[in-house]
Amino acid sequence: MVTIKNSEWKREDCYFDRVQGELVIRHLMENNIRGDVLDIACGDGLLTKALSESQYVTSIYGVDNSKDAIITAKKRKYSCPVTFYSSSFEKFSLKRKFDSVLAINILEHVNDHIYFLKKLKSFLKKDSKAYIYVPNADSLHVLLAVEMGVIPNKYHLNQWQKDFVGHTIHYDIHLFSSHIKASGLVIVDIGSIIFKPFSNPQMDFLLSSGNWGERCKGNREIRGWALSRENFYNGLYSLGKKNDIKKYGSTLYAICAL
């Protein structure tokens, strides 16, 4: 059964999580998300809105277990037809299939991961794609925490992650691919994106500092890389694509088909 743990986490609790969300959208756009889209665990509609602005997206159906999130999502303005459902994915039923099915940062919240993936698979058309994203246990910031002795191993979930955020698992690429294959989905592409050297609270602290572009005064050699936050985000994204670094991205992705 697809039981999703309750979570007290909200997007606004973490600034850098919003940044990562925008970079995931960029990755989706680069990988030809198109047509009628099913967005599983759509949340407050922030990412749904960005998706709706793509010329290749025809319509979006969003489903989320949080009634409050759906109320917020319905208040946004979208650039294509959008329909929302307040329901757990476990109980969600719709007699149609989709060109693109999204599961962005939700698989790590469920108890029966393979059942979830099998149900996701049931909404795919023959020639459609599923886009699945989860946090990466091999992210540099996680490996750094292991070396510092903060956590015992890369798969460890602390009390905040388990009880507040609602995570049930921490995937590396091998465990991730094994669950996908066990569900019967075929992996078209798999990897990681977004180089993140520090934890979200540390990144938020860094990004809240005033020592950025305002101190550079147009000189690229003053303060080195600290030209602007936008340049920083673009750097994290492009660095995460480099062959010798990309396994350490903060987010795993898998593009799957039937």
Distance (Å, rounded) from C-alpha 83 to C-alpha 61?
5
Q: Token digits for 35?
A: 């047509």
Q: What are phi and psi of 250, to 5 degrees?
A: -75, -20
Which pLDDT score is estimated for 46?
A: 87
Does the structure show a pLDDT above 90 at 35? Answer: yes
User: Residue 227 — very low, low, confident or very high, per pLDDT cuts 50/70/90?
Assistant: low
Minimal CA–CA distance to 102: which of 43, 16, 162? 43
Which pLDDT score is estimated for 101?
A: 97
The residue behind tokens 């743990």 is: 5
pLDDT higher at 141 or 223? 141
Distance (Å, rounded) from C-alpha 194 to C-alpha 245?
10
Which pLDDT score is estimated for 8?
A: 43
Residue 172 · residue 146 · CB < 8 Å: no
- What is the pTM for the complete model shown? 0.88
Over range 82-111, report the average pLDDT: 94
Which pLDDT score is estimated for 4?
A: 42
DSSP 237: H
pLDDT higher at 222 or 22? 22
Which pLDDT score is estimated for 47?
A: 87
pLDDT higher at 200 or 15? 200
The sign of the dihedral angle between the CA atoms of 246, 115, 99, 75 is: negative
Which pLDDT score is estimated for 200?
A: 85
Over range 39-54, report the average pLDDT: 92
The sign of the dihedral angle between the CA atoms of 67, 68, 71, 76 is: negative
Over range 221-232, report the average pLDDT: 62
Over range 228-242, report the average pLDDT: 85
Residue 82: strand pairing partners: 60
What would you report as the CA-atom Rg of the chain, rounded to the nearest whole angstrom? 18
pLDDT digits (tens, 9 = 90+) for 173-191: 999 999 999 999 999 999 9
User: Residue 6 — very low, low, confident or very high, per pLDDT cuts 50/70/90?
Assistant: very low
User: Residue 210 — very low, low, confident or very high, per pLDDT cuts 50/70/90?
Assistant: low
Over range 21-32, report the average pLDDT: 90
Q: What domains are there in the chain, each with its CATH number?
A: 11-197+242-257 (3.40.50.150)
Over range 125-151, report the average pLDDT: 95
User: Residue 12 — very low, low, confident or very high, per pLDDT cuts 50/70/90?
Assistant: low
The residue count of the chain comes to 258
Q: Token digits for 193?
A: 């994106």
Which pLDDT score is estimated for 3?
A: 44
Mean pLDDT (the chain, rounded): 87
User: Residue 90 — very low, low, confident or very high, per pLDDT cuts 50/70/90?
Assistant: confident
